[in-house]
């Protein structure tokens, strides 16, 4: 039942379960009384419960368990680091191998789509309070969905022309196809949440404008969109880019972006693997990853590292970028070894820095307290120094996972509801 990967830029690489193989996998579940897998999900999804439903042929029940808890059930089934969360906790690890929880989640959500199951509803009596969410990434989508299912009127303001944040403009379609993201977002739209696109809050619209439109609470889920490139000679040459720009251009080109024949990617996380895999699937002959630490220290998921290697991507560790050279356009990049003795000069048509993203200037939004790194200072419930502004996701945690952003967005929604309740009492 091992996953089969398709090597194509625009289509999903990993295969899912068929109804028969899903039942077989669910039948391996030990139906543990204490279900340790269920403690492992930051967003609180209960895999023990939905696997039991699949096992007893109640696929709608499985989809309900997932969707009611996580509006991005289809997305998370593709991108969650299961091996570090629920699958790591699975009791079957001690016998042979964990239940493929992520793939079973994918199966249940695919069935939900195939049979057009109606799962989420909003109350008939709507509340009067309006909430604005800034940004349409996982944090805002989760916050908006939770508020909408509780009857609040929610509008999302998004600077780009499409919703989804990193899901739409970052993660490679080979891991997360756009139709999966669109299906999840449609669930948010079906709850009555409105979307206003091409509107950058802080530039096209101020927080005061939003308040003047009658929004009494504001959620900020703006993520990390400022580029991070080290200050080395040659960083401004043509062909030098950041992971976010590279992946966005690749996605918008629908797989036709010309990356040249030799691509160098710098970084050791999932983002670096996404860039390298994308470069390879876009047609680059030679793709090399350079990482300043060891492979053991690299934060990327081992399966993604293996997939990149299987496509012919090379990974060189313990080398950090020192200089980029070329006549107007990048031709070579030089690295210094961690041992302070070795160096390497590598030919490149494109150099991609996948060394993390930074927040944009949040002070442009409001007099909000920020940390030294520029992320928003908010408590674990999403409360900021301004009573009607709440924040969560990457802009607060400095960059984590989709499921963390979902979990934090949901928590912030609860806090927003508390805020309204308290206001009502006064």
Ligand X SMILES: Cc1cc2nc3c(=O)[nH]c(=O)nc-3n(C[C@H](O)[C@H](O)[C@H](O)COP(=O)(O)OP(=O)(O)OC[C@H]3O[C@@H](n4cnc5c(N)ncnc54)[C@H](O)[C@@H]3O)c2cc1C
Is residue 134 near ligand X by the rule CB under 6 A?
Answer: yes
Whichever of 38 and 350 has its CB closer to ligand SF4, that residue is 38
Member of 271, 284, 330, 333 binding ligand X (CB under 6 A): 271
Residue 223 touches which of ligand X, ligand SF4, none (Cβ within 5-8 Å per kind): ligand X
Residue 393 touches which of ligand X, ligand SF4, none (Cβ within 5-8 Å per kind): ligand X
Residue 366 touches which of ligand SF4, ligand X, none (Cβ within 5-8 Å per kind): none
| Interacting residues toward ligand SF4 by CB under 6 A | 29-32, 35-37, 47-48, 51, 90-92, 99, 101
How far is residue 206's CA from residue 189's CA, in Å, rounded to a whole number? 24
Stretch that binds ligand X, among 110-118, 221-229, 312-320, 383-391 (CB under 6 A): 221-229
* Minimum distance of ligand SF4 from residue 302's CB (angstroms): 20
Is residue 159 near ligand X by the rule CB under 6 A?
Answer: yes
Which residues, in sequence order, are bridge partners of residue 345?
A: 334
Member of 88, 160, 323, 336 binding ligand X (CB under 6 A): 160
CB 313 within 8 A of CB 277: yes
Residue 29 touches which of ligand X, ligand SF4, none (Cβ within 5-8 Å per kind): ligand SF4
CB 221 within 8 A of CB 139: yes
* Minimum distance of ligand X from residue 126's CB (angstroms): 25
Is residue 165 near ligand X by the rule CB under 6 A?
Answer: yes
Could you tell me which of 255, 275, 245 has the C-alpha nearest to residue 11? 255
Cα–Cα–Cα angle for 52, 56, 59, rounded to 5 degrees:
80
Instruction: Show contacts with ligand X in window 372-411 (CB under 6 A).
Output: 393-395, 400-403, 405
Which residues, in sequence order, are bridge partners of residue 412?
A: none
Q: Is residue 237 packed enough to be buried (19+ CB in 10 Å), middle (13-18) or exposed (0-12)?
A: middle
Is residue 173 near ligand X by the rule CB under 6 A?
Answer: no
DSSP letter for each residue of 297-321: T--S-HHHHHHHHHTT-EEEESEEE
Cα–Cα–Cα angle for 284, 286, 291, rounded to 5 degrees:
115
Whichever of 51 and 220 has its CB closer to ligand X, that residue is 220
Is residue 270 near ligand X by the rule CB under 6 A?
Answer: yes
* Minimum distance of ligand X from residue 327's CB (angstroms): 30
Which residues, in sequence order, are bridge partners of residue 323?
A: 334
Where would I find the H helices in 230-296? Answer: 243-252, 270-281
| Two structure tokens written together for 349 | 């048509």
How far is residue 351's CA from residue 275's CA, in Å, rounded to a whole number? 10
Residue 91 touches which of ligand X, ligand SF4, none (Cβ within 5-8 Å per kind): ligand SF4
Place of tokens 């079957």: 92
- Residues near ligand X, by CB under 6 A: 79-80, 134-140, 157-160, 165-166, 170-171, 200-202, 221-223, 225, 243-244, 247, 270-271, 274, 393-395, 400-403, 405
């Amino acid at each position: 039942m091992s996953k089969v990967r398709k090597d194509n830029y625009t289509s999903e690489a990993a295969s899912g379960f068929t109804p028969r193989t899903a039942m077989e996998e669910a039948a391996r579940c030990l139906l543990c009384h204490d279900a340790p897998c269920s403690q492992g999900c930051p967003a609180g999804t209960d895999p023990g419960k939905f696997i039991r439903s699949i096992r007893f042929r109640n696929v709608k029940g499985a989809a309900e368990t997932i969707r009611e808890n996580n509006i991005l059930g289809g997305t998370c089934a593709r991108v969650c680091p299961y091996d570090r969360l629920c699958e790591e906790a699975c009791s079957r690890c001690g016998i042979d191998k964990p239940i493929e929880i992520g793939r079973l989640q994918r199966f249940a959500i695919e069935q939900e789509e195939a049979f057009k199951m109606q799962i989420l509803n909003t109350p008939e009596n709507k509340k009067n309070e309006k909430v604005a969410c800034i940004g349409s990434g996982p944090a805002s989508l989760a916050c908006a969905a939770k508020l909408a299912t509780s009857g609040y009127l929610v509008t999302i303001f998004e600077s780009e022309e499409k919703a989804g944040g990193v899901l739409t403009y970052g993660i490679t379609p080979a891991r997360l196809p756009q139709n999966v993201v669109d299906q999840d977002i449609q669930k948010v739209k079906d709850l009555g949440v409105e979307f206003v696109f091409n509107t950058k809050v802080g530039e096209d619209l101020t927080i005061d404008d939003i308040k003047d439109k009658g929004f009494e609470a504001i959620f900020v889920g703006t993520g990390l969109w400022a580029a991070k490139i080290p200050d080395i000679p040659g960083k401004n040459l043509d062909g030098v880019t950041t992971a976010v720009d590279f992946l966005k251009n690749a996605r918008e080109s629908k797989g036709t972006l010309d990356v040249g024949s030799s691509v160098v990617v710098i970084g050791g996380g999932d983002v670096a693997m996404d860039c390298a895999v994308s470069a390879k699937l876009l047609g680059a002959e030679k793709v090399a990853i350079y990482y300043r630490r060891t492979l053991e220290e690299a934060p990327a998921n081992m399966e993604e590292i293996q997939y990149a290697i299987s496509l012919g991507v090379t990974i060189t560790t313990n080398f950090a970028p020192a200089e980029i050279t070329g006549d107007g356009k990048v031709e070579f990049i030089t690295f210094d070894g961690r041992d302070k003795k070795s160096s390497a000069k590598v030919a490149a048509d494109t150099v991609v820095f996948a060394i993390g993203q930074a927040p944009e200037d949040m002070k442009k939004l409001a007099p909000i307290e920020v940390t030294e790194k520029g992320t928003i200072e908010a408590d674990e419930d999403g409360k900021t120094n301004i009573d009607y502004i709440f924040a969560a996701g990457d802009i607060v945690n400095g960059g984590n996972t989709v499921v963390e952003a979902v979990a934090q967005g949901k928590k912030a929604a609860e806090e927003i509801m508390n805020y309204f309740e308290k206001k009502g009492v006064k």
